[in-house]
């Protein structure tokens, strides 16, 4: 009997120790209950009729950012360097290192042209869908900083690798001469897949 009591006590202690991480993990989770909004959203006399639902949480309405971008005529993009969503009325197709960017093409085949003012005329880029980097590369501008040089980037992504429902983005950037980090990132929409 003494052995049975020791086994029971040991089992209780082991069970309690095993439950501590689970209960502390569960306490760090927050659950939200969202419901479909049963009312229309109208902006400047235009009714929102998107594929994604309008949600309501405790009296607040939630609409996908992509939808808000279209409804309010603002530019929304993901800044990978700062790991944040940025919303602006400014022209998102230029910064201090890149300007006059144009994109042509579709379905994985794109030609991007523009002007760059980057160190040693080296333009770095990657192509992503918001979840995965599909392509990385570099191009050379016709002139290096401090002058503006022209560039052309040909992008070819196999159809099997194209996203089903995402925005395909080209991220232009240069590497810092100080530490090699990414600077002057400029996101450029290649194509929206839905």
pLDDT in tens, 72-95: 777 776 665 566 777 777 656 678
Q: Are 100 and 117 in contact (CB under 8 A)?
A: no
Mean pLDDT across 109-134: 92
Average pLDDT, the chain: 82
Percent of the chain with pLDDT over 90: 29
Pairing of strands 98-106, 109-116: antiparallel
Domains by residue range for the chain, with CATH? 98-193 (2.60.40.10)
CA 17 to the chain's CA centroid = 40
CA-wise closest residue to 127 among 70, 194, 193 = 193
CA nearest neighbour of 154 among 103, 191, 189, 115 = 103
Nearest residue to 139 via CA among 106, 169, 113, 101: 113
């Amino acid at each position: 009997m003494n052995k049975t009591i020791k086994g029971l006590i040991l089992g209780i202690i082991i069970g309690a120790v095993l439950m501590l991480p689970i209960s502390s993990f569960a306490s760090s989770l927050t659950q939200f209950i969202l419901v479909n909004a049963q009312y229309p959203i109208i902006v400047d006399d235009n009714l929102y009729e998107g594929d994604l639902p309008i949600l309501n949480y405790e009296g607040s309405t939630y609409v996908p950012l992509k939808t808000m971008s279209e409804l309010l005529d603002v530019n929304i993009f993901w800044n990978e360097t700062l790991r944040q969503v940025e919303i602006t009325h400014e022209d998102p197709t230029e910064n201090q290192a890149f300007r006059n960017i144009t994109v042509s093409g579709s379905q994985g085949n794109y030609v991007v042209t523009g002007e760059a003012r980057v160190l040693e005329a080296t333009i770095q880029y990657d192509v992503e869908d918001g979840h995965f980097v599909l392509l990385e590369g570099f191009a050379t501008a016709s002139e290096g900083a401090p002058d503006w040089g022209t560039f052309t980037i040909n992008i070819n992504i196999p159809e099997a690798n194209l996203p089903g429902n995402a925005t395909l983005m080209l991220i232009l950037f240069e590497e810092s001469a100080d530490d090699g980090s990414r600077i002057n990132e400029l996101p450029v929409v290649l194509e929206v897949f839905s």
